[in-house]
Structure 1
């Protein structure tokens, strides 16, 4: 018998799903319940019914998990940015490892129980870690608000004090909102597709204290831009870079293709360990500097470079991984589709005392070209977006067969699908989860694949 909409029923929660929701089974039907924890017995009301599963909300908790805790954020249940604030941190780390295992069981034919899947590397303080905020701007009751859209809706939730952001970024955001209001700058209305300012993006170099502010508009012009710049410089002296980005498209993408510097430098500097990086507005850089050092140390460990290897850093962004492991390589080559990222990568690579080549484009474009020229990598490192590796790249890797393949993943499902393809040629030596985003269901990991000797 199928579950009906608004039906109320008891449910025992078995596990945490990939989006952080509790997962249980009612009459063999899968039910996803946000906010429910493994081991809990809850009464649920069905909010959506799909052919293969149902979604529900908690009406009552009959048996509470010992790992349940009170979320400190006042808009936690509305904003959707964090999914796990109601779970103690030590348990979050265990659940993230389990999410990884579930993905491998679902998407691979590998003997998952015999794989070396390590304990998740966590943080000492799992709050105030994010070095970047991208908040949509709106207007309500004569006030300028900024925040995130509520889960599965287009209701903008105002977030003046985000618990996972670096506190100084909250201050910058609130000051810029006030400046926009003071100068009566038109705010973009998504429903009407009218107005000017769409998004406020802030980023801090945590080690340097340098802050970059990007104002994204739907129009080519930002009114009173000189006055805005002067006011930002007066009220926020640690903002070293002010950029105007133009994005006229009605899209979920934050940035448009055109960025105009308004004041200060076009980049800010960040340090990780001994390394210094230049970051432009659109360049990718990890959002949690403390955990990035731990993650990149895992990449370095997995790559096992001896000074003789040719290394490819695919999806290289600003060249951060190549720079981190570069002192152990003979040569590093990287590629990324964003031209500004490659500009940053070339700049960042100047500190290395080895040959480096960074090109705009995809790995599946450049690897065959280099192979034709007689250049073959010993180690390939990838850090792809959530969609995983492009199929053409996986096909290219199967042809090139580097000795070691290091896969940095931010999505367990696409990681599982990709390594399942490569498992005919490679042994999965181990997978190391790293908690880059405490309080959220995101799971980052570093996997080492070693070529089978046939």
Structure 2
């Protein structure tokens, strides 16, 4: 008889018990000692899995049948659940989401195993009272589908546009503006971009709402500086959407993986809108990066403040400072703030935001943190407190070396990626003690989690 094999094939079905949720929000089980990822499945559920992909180290599958549902399973609010990203956990109760996000941090620690990780104090996730309608910015592609205009997001790993007449994580105002403008564009016959023909004008609608003022900024991203029916469109927007106080146009020609182009034009109203976080005002241009959930961002900065336990004598470095949000929020508690960012426009915005708030004890410089911090140290600057909020790639090794060289007494690491956070902790914990890891839910209904890590310099160093 030929030997039996454990070969698994696409289309094969088998029962599976789900053990936990993975870092991307998919259910995880094990079949013939191989890990199986199943989007939409929850811990303790028993499903009939249908294999969609077989790889050397994992199996991807979908739920063919749900035999035993989790008590944490709920009905998703969005009809487009499962078709677009950004709502991948809508089927999980909110308490279940908060527990999962703490577990994501634990999973990362178990993978990278920084020294002493089993004894770290990981607190419960800070959530939202209302985990819906929190996104203050919508960036929706516009295309023609079956003779009508659609605005929404691409399905994962594709350029198939999913029309979103409603989206439960967006604010009501951003959705109202998107759908109203879409109707106006269609009624005026403004040509929209066609990727297959590389022709047409309107590519993307971007709307940002200020939670402080209730006002909004609208940006048309176009394939050309021309915008047919521009004046009629602006007049109609001003009549129907008085909340829109700023109308801009960004030009991004041709097929491009980047949403934004280099040229931004002012069409009507103000050139910026104002947002406020913890009493500090921020003037936002169309392209300025700003946090998408101001409610949770304010909580995050309060956590950073409490973790640093700042004094009026402290000299704080705000690495990856962006438009200055963290440093400016803390400037009134310290002697000096120094911030750096690689994006020149962000540094100019940080300087401008300092000026409009009359904050004078701050200094901002363009450059990489791993280059500027050693330079500042060589010039005699001695930081006593440090906050880093890096991109998902985590800290550069040169910056880790500079931190370990300067050894500020107070150190807070804000992370949006538990994997790179725990990787970086492996190098940092030889010099620093992890006092606490505080998860925070910046993006409810998604698998993403922020973490605020409080580190203190070890006394025997």
> Which of residues 412, 423, 434 in structure 2 aligns to 1:417?
423
Is 1:356 aligned to 2:378, yes or no?
Answer: no
> Which of residues 119, 124, 131 in structure 2 aligns to 1:126?
131
Tell me if structure 1 keeps the 8 A contact 2:114–2:425: no
Alignment of 1:80-159 (within 5 A): 80-159=85-164
Counterpart of 1:15?
Answer: 20
Tell me if structure 2 keeps the 8 A contact 1:323–1:352: no
Counterpart of 2:402?
Answer: 396
Is 1:287 aligned to 2:295, yes or no?
Answer: no
Of 214-223 and 132-141, more deviation after overlay is shown by 214-223
451 and 248 in structure 1: CA distance in 2 versus 1, 3 angstrom threshold: farther
What is the distance in 2 between the residues matched to 1:250 and 1:393?
36
Counterpart of 1:229?
Answer: 234
Aligned residues between the structures:
454
What is the distance in 1 between the residues matched to 2:213 and 2:433?
41
Deviation digits for residues 95-138 of structure 1, max 9, x if unmatched?
Answer: 11001110111123333321011100111111111111111111
Counterpart of 1:179?
Answer: 184
341 and 12 in structure 1: CA distance in 2 versus 1, 3 angstrom threshold: same
What is the distance in 1 between the residues matched to 2:257 and 2:107?
29
Alignment of 1:165-176 (within 5 A): 165-176=170-181
Q: TM-score, normalised by structure 1?
A: 0.96
Deviation digits for residues 52-111 of structure 1, max 9, x if unmatched?
Answer: 101101011111111111111111121122111101111110011001110111123333
What is the distance in 2 between the residues matched to 1:385 and 1:403?
23
What is the distance in 1 between the residues matched to 2:152 and 2:393?
25
| 2:92 partner SS | coil
Alignment of 1:242-257 (within 5 A): 242-248=247-253, 250-257=255-262
Counterpart of 1:451?
Answer: 457
- Shift of residue 354, structure 1, vs aligned partner: 4.3
- Shift of residue 262, structure 1, vs aligned partner: 1.5
Q: TM-score, normalised by structure 2?
A: 0.95
Deviation digits for residues 216-267 of structure 1, max 9, x if unmatched?
Answer: 1232333333332222222211111111112236443322222222122221
Deviation digits for residues 22-79 of structure 1, max 9, x if unmatched?
Answer: 0010011011000000011111000011111011010111111111111111111211
Counterpart of 1:367?
Answer: 373
Counterpart of 1:379?
Answer: 385
Is 1:40 aligned to 2:45, yes or no?
Answer: yes
- Shift of residue 396, structure 1, vs aligned partner: 2.5
Tell me if structure 1 keeps the 8 A contact 2:25–2:89: yes
Counterpart of 2:3?
Answer: none
396 and 190 in structure 1: CA distance in 2 versus 1, 3 angstrom threshold: farther
- Shift of residue 214, structure 1, vs aligned partner: 1.2
What is the distance in 1 between the residues matched to 2:343 and 2:266?
18
What is the distance in 1 between the residues matched to 2:433 and 2:13?
47
Deviation digits for residues 120-165 of structure 1, max 9, x if unmatched?
Answer: 0111111111111111111112221111111222211001111111
428 and 186 in structure 1: CA distance in 2 versus 1, 3 angstrom threshold: same
Of 219-228 and 431-440, more deviation after overlay is shown by 219-228
> Which of residues 323, 326, 330 in structure 1 aligns to 2:331?
326
197 and 421 in structure 1: CA distance in 2 versus 1, 3 angstrom threshold: farther
Any stretches of 5+ residues in structure 1 without a counterpart? Answer: none
What is the distance in 2 between the residues matched to 1:135 and 1:399?
45
What is the distance in 2 between the residues matched to 1:319 and 1:429?
26
- Shift of residue 301, structure 1, vs aligned partner: 0.7
Counterpart of 2:75?
Answer: 70
| 1:234 partner SS | helix
